[in-house]
Structure 1
């Protein structure tokens, strides 16, 4: 694991969630938050073009952990499985990464992810924070945050291979 993108809970529409935060499997169209992630990538990473799908498995294969704080949800009901124990489980995952790895880049988008990441040792790891890519907040700092190029710069400084964000 070289990079952690921390989400809140899975997409709650039919056939959307498949275990990777912000990701949807083909042929499900990318939800608005993911479309905004792609828009930011297109201005931040040279050569990035919208892949025409929403499957982020290519990032996971390169060491990007796409982790939601809550791992299940009732259909059509966002945050419906909040406070059912998933938060404690994913706290343990983040704590393990924090203690056992070094130089991980944590991308914390939105207040929820930022609270979840408050225990990350900023002397051991890199933490990038901005608003959530949701259409409700994207114009308050997500667009223009350049987290993808900054992540690659930090990985290179740590002697790690950068992420090919175009490999989707």
Structure 2
């Protein structure tokens, strides 16, 4: 069965990305997930993000370029808001509440944009646990099989000789700590940035400053976390 997600998967494989060597893309798992999502599209459901952006996090940040890993849950459920990168927002309305909390750790002033593409281009892997969702239905595809890809990507980065920083926010991300070699990589944990997090243990945790300090200690260039220019 063909469809827009299957076509996006075929294009991703044809791109020559090293991520395509993960078992998820070689053992039929990706094809099964794509077929399931395409079946929903065939039923008239609007799937997000645009299929052309489903694998964008992997396309913009190849394995050998990863310096920081940030894990999200799934794409924003409002059409036009998501662009394939975890937490990244390109919609026309106000920034999502969690993203506002995240960006306040970079700059307390009002951010000029919520598009995190500049981070991805610098080596920040912004990967969701589910690469697709449905319009106005958050979490719709969390059990579709995408999580295998997230687990394998985290393990693959951990297995590299190059060090990286893993920013684990919230219970779902922190559950993947067991996949990371702490003797070789930095693991910086906190609660989820959502305002609904009653513990409020993300604000003030300074994940970006701590990540850059760790990178610089190892002679690696830091990430410029500012958005929209200095």
TM-score, normalised to structure 2, is: 0.67
* Aligned equivalent of 1:19: 84
SS of equivalent to 2:114? coil
Deviation at residue 117 of structure 1 after TM alignment: 3.0
Distance 2:142 2:114 in 1: 25
* Aligned equivalent of 2:67: 2
| Greater Cα shift, 1-10 or 50-59 | 50-59
* Aligned equivalent of 2:155: 95
Distance 2:224 2:80 in 1: 27
Q: Which runs of 5+ in 2 are unaligned?
A: 1-65
* Aligned equivalent of 1:46: none
Deviations 1:27-75 (A, max 9, x none): 45321110111222225xxxxx433221011111111111111110111
* Aligned equivalent of 2:182: 122
| Greater Cα shift, 74-83 or 126-135 | 74-83
Decide whether aligned partners of structure 1 residues 138 and 35 sit closer, same or farther in structure 2, where only a CA change above 3 A counts.
farther
Deviation at residue 110 of structure 1 after TM alignment: 0.2
| Structure number having the greater helix percentage | 2
Decide whether aligned partners of structure 1 residues 11 and 112 sit closer, same or farther in structure 2, where only a CA change above 3 A counts.
same
Q: After the TM superposition, which segments of 4 or more aligned residues of structure 1 sit over 3 Å from their partners?
A: 26-29
CA-atom RMSD in angstroms: 1.6
Decide whether aligned partners of structure 1 residues 139 and 166 sit closer, same or farther in structure 2, where only a CA change above 3 A counts.
farther
Q: Which of 133, 145, 153 is 1:73 aligned to? A: 133
TM-score, normalised to structure 1, is: 0.90
Distance 1:26 1:16 in 2: 4
Deviation at residue 26 of structure 1 after TM alignment: 5.4
* Aligned residues of 2:82 and 2:91 also touching (Cα < 8 A): no
Q: Which of 109, 112, 122 is 2:169 aligned to? A: 109
* Aligned residues of 1:4 and 1:65 also touching (Cα < 8 A): yes
Deviations 1:79-117 (A, max 9, x none): 110121100111111111111243200000000000023
* Aligned residues of 2:167 and 2:207 also touching (Cα < 8 A): yes
> May I ask how many residue pairs the two structures share in their alignment?
163
Relative contact order higher in (CA < 8 Å, ≥ 6 apart)? 1
